[in-house]
């Protein structure tokens, strides 16, 4: 298996633009997690899905952020409109048993100018 796949790996955009991050979890995993990592706050959980259903989105910073999981093999995290403070590395992780085993993707480094 190729592991968790994220795209793009790097994204540079201007303030106000829409940004879409993509994730393909490991086949057979039923949990998917979106994390954000910054120097100031470290790793933070944004949202997680179980069997394609959002379970907890309390970490989503505000309405500009939205996440979807239309099927078991694909998820998106969208920021609209983007702001410079959204600059961070966004990780997707998938797991087979809730929070008890997770495999991380390589991350997307987002820079909002």
Q: What angle do CA 92, 95, 97 make, to 5 degrees?
A: 145
CB of 76 to another protein, least distance (A): 20
Interface segment toward another protein; rule CB under 8 A; list 14-22, 40-48, 67-75, 76-84: 40-48
Q: Which is nearer to another protein, 19 or 47 (CB)?
A: 47
C-alpha 52/C-alpha 36 separation (Å) is 20
CB atoms within 10 A of CB 97: 10
Tell whether the torsion through CA atoms of 62, 34, 89 and 21 is positive or negative: negative
Does 74 interact with another protein (rule: CB under 8 A)?
no
Query: Judged by CB under 8 A, does residue 49 bind another protein?
Result: no
List residues near another protein by CB under 8 A.
33, 42-45, 48, 55-56, 89, 91, 98-104, 106-107, 109
């Amino acid at each position: 298996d190729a592991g968790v796949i994220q795209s793009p790996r790097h994204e540079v955009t201007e303030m106000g633009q829409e940004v879409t991050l993509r994730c393909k979890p490991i086949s057979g995993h039923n949990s998917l997690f979106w994390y954000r990592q910054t120097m100031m706050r470290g790793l933070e959980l944004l949202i997680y899905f179980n069997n394609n259903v959002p379970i907890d989105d309390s970490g989503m910073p505000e309405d500009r952020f939205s996440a979807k999981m239309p099927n078991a093999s694909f998820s998106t995290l969208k920021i609209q409109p983007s702001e410079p403070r959204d600059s961070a590395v966004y990780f997707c992780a998938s797991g087979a048993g809730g929070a008890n085993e997770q495999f991380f993707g390589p991350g997307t480094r987002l820079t909002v100018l």
